[in-house]
Structures are given as structure tokens and as C-alpha cells.
Amino acid sequence: MPEPLLAGYTVLDLASVGPAARTSRWLADYGATVIKVGPTPRHGAAQVKPWFYAYSGHRGMQRVLLDLKEPAGRDAFLRLATRADVVIESFRPGVVGRLGIGYDDVRDVNPGIVYCSTTGYGQDGPYAQRAGHDLGYLAMGGFLDCTGRDGNGGPAIPGATVADSAAGGMHAVMSILAALLRRASTGGGTYLDVAVADGVVALMSLAVDEYLATGEVPGPRHGVLTGRYAWYDVYACADGRWLAVAVIEPHFFANLCRELGCEQWLGHQYDDAAQGAMRADFAAALASRDRDKWVAQLAPADTCVAPVNTVAELVDDPHYRARNVFVDAHSAEHGTIRQVGWVLAGQERDQPPPEIRDVARTDTSELLAAAGYTTTEIDQLRDQGVVA
């Protein structure tokens, strides 16, 4: 098996959930050594304790518990940071500085550190101290307003945490990798201010740039990619399941019309006046047969269709099975559980089944010993409740 792309890099992750936790998950899947840093029991559990299966059960990660409010706990963190390449944190702006573990503090002991602060609205600006979650970032960034409407006429809530995942987690991963590339040539570290709300604007750039250039206000059914045309929509089939149709190219559109027996619409692909009648004809044709029968006919005919799978359907899809998208993981507490595997490009998919560790298990002693602490010092810190 080839060496993972990020083998040899070490990440300290101070987050328990949200975009930052997704960031470290993906970095670990690329082979980085990720150390989750959590609070000691005497200060209670993390604000939000994820389900045992969340973030792939933190497979392949290590764990250390430190009381960062105590000087000795802060010092322990900084000792660990001297051996790290990346620090990820998701506190509100200013918190890590007050704890003495901010970028300047870490840079003093490790000038090459890549320090990634992930927040909802960034480190500055009038909204910097606001609390928030995925739906709010999508709302502020225009995503929800351009999304289809629910039964009450309001923006539909997306079926995935697009802001946390793409605008936050993947945004942070991309930024961290760019900073590591620069460090490879300059030796210098970087501070990264990852704002999820900014990431949503990046995801919305096609719509935002259209408005800035033309004054047209995008929204549902406004453009090609938001359902203006009958050939980019979802349709109900005879069995009550749904089919997604997305035939942007003219030759794909022609294929669809012929397969559905709707040749009357050839030559009218972008005719706005024809879209209502075209949509009705497509709907009537697709409602005549079950979804999977349509997929079997249309997909091989270059018509750009796909089934609207439920999660239960997608995990058994033969294409995903063939590409080893899902793996079986073992947990001493929960037995064998199936989970999303190493699916992103450059990750090695044919790996041994991962082990989901007991959440109570830590690597504190081993990690502190590697950072230079003696056994006596570690025992003293543990007795004082500074580490666990």
C-alpha cells in the first residue's frame, strides 16, 4: 500500500464538532496524525458530544485531555505544539489568545506552525462574536434564498450540512494544504482565518457574480442550475420515487426528448415560453413507469439522469460498492458498523478495516512522554487534574 499523502504531518485539533472536526477528519483520512485535544473531566465534557459514529468515529486519531485554563495545561499544549505542523481551533474569536494558546503563543515555540481558526463569521467584522450553525450561514450567504421552496413557500432546508462540510471543513482543508505547500518552500508558518460564512459566498459565486455584473437577482427557477428549464428538474415516477434530469448540452437534450417520445420539443430547449408545456409533457411521460425502469433506459442513452436515492438506497448502490466507498469498522462497544470510507481522491481505499476506539481511552501519557515529560511529571499532572 502506498504511503498516505499526508504521512508525517501532525495536527492538533481542539474542536469536538462542526466544520473544524470535519477538517481534521479529512486530514486524517489523507494520512496525517491527528491528535484530538479535549477538556479534562473536572471541567466537564465538551459542549457537544458527538454520536459514536459521527466523524467516522474518529478512526485513526489519538486523544489527549488537558485543562487549558491551568498554566500547566497550557504549557503541556505548547509542548505538544512544538512537534505539530497544524493547529485547528474553533473557539470564538479571542478565546485562544486569553488561554495563552493562540497563534502568537504557538508561533513563539514553533515558527513553522500552520494555525487554522475556524469560526462562523471570521475573526473580525461586526458579526464576529455571533453564535451560529450551518443553516444560518447558508441563509446569510444567499444559498437558502436560491434553493427550492418547501410546502409553505419558504426556502427548503438542505438535506446535508453544506456550510459545515464544504464552506467550512473543505475550505479549511484547502487552506491548510496551501499553507503547508508554502511552508515547504519558505519554512514559514501561516495564520488562517476560516470563516464559514465567507465559504458560503465562495460556493455561491456563480450567482453572486451574475448579480454584480448584470443586476439580475438570482433565486429559485432563475437560471439553468436552479430549475428555470424543464430539462433541469426532478420528476415523480409511477412508484412515487423521483428522477433527476440535468441535460444541459443540446445533444443530451435531444436524446432525452427522443427517449421520452417528446420530439415536439426539439429546437425549443431555451424557449422560455415553452417550458411550462414541456415540463408537463416530461412529467406525464416519466410518471408512466417506475423510476428504476426509467434509469435503466435513460442512463445508457446519454440523457444525464440519476435516481434520487434515499440514504438507504445509496449505501447499497452497485457503483459505490464497486468503488469501495463504504467500509466495515469494528467497535468494541458497538460491534461491526458500516461507515463512509476513504472516498476522496488520493486516499487509499483498500485499507484494513478501521478500529473505532472507546471514547474513554486517551493517549495522554504517551503523547506527553513523546513531548519530553518524565513519568513522574505526567503522574503529578494527572494527580492535579491538569491532564487525563
Structure-block grid coordinates of residue 159: 438535506
CATH superfamily of 10-202+358-383: Crotonobetainyl-coa:carnitine coa-transferase; domain 1 (3.40.50.10540)
Q: List the 62-65 sheet strands across, edge first.
A: 62-65, 33-38, 10-13, 86-89, 114-119, 190-195
| pLDDT tens, position by position, 299-310 | 999 999 999 999
Domain boundaries defined on the chain: 10-202+358-383, 224-236+242-307
108 belongs to the catalytic site? no
Secondary structure class of 17 (helix, strand, coil): coil
Active-site residue flag, 133: yes
Q: What is the DSSP secondary-structure string of 295-363?
A: HHHHGGGT--EEE---HHHHTT-HHHHHTT-EEEEEETTTEEEEEE-S-STTS--S-PPPEE--TT---
Which entry of 104, 108, 124, 133 is annotated as an active-site residue?
Answer: 133
The CA distances from residue 235 to 9, 150, 168, 247, 299, in Å, are 47, 16, 32, 14, 15
Kindly name the residue from 29, 164, 233, 281 that is annotated as catalytic.
164
Angle, helices 205-214/196-203, rounded to nearest 10 degrees? 70
Percent of the chain residues past pLDDT 90, beyond the cut? 92
The confidence score (pLDDT) of residue 358 equals: 86
Tens digit of pLDDT for each residue in 106-164?
999 999 999 999 999 999 999 999 999 999 999 999 999 999 888 888 999 999 999 99
Of 293, 322, 358, residue with least CA distance to 57: 358
> Taking the model in full, what pTM does it have?
0.94
The fold of the 224-236+242-307 domain, in CATH, is formyl-coa transferase, domain 3 (3.30.1540)
pLDDT for 1 equals 79
Q: In the chain, what percentage of residues exceed pLDDT 70?
A: 98
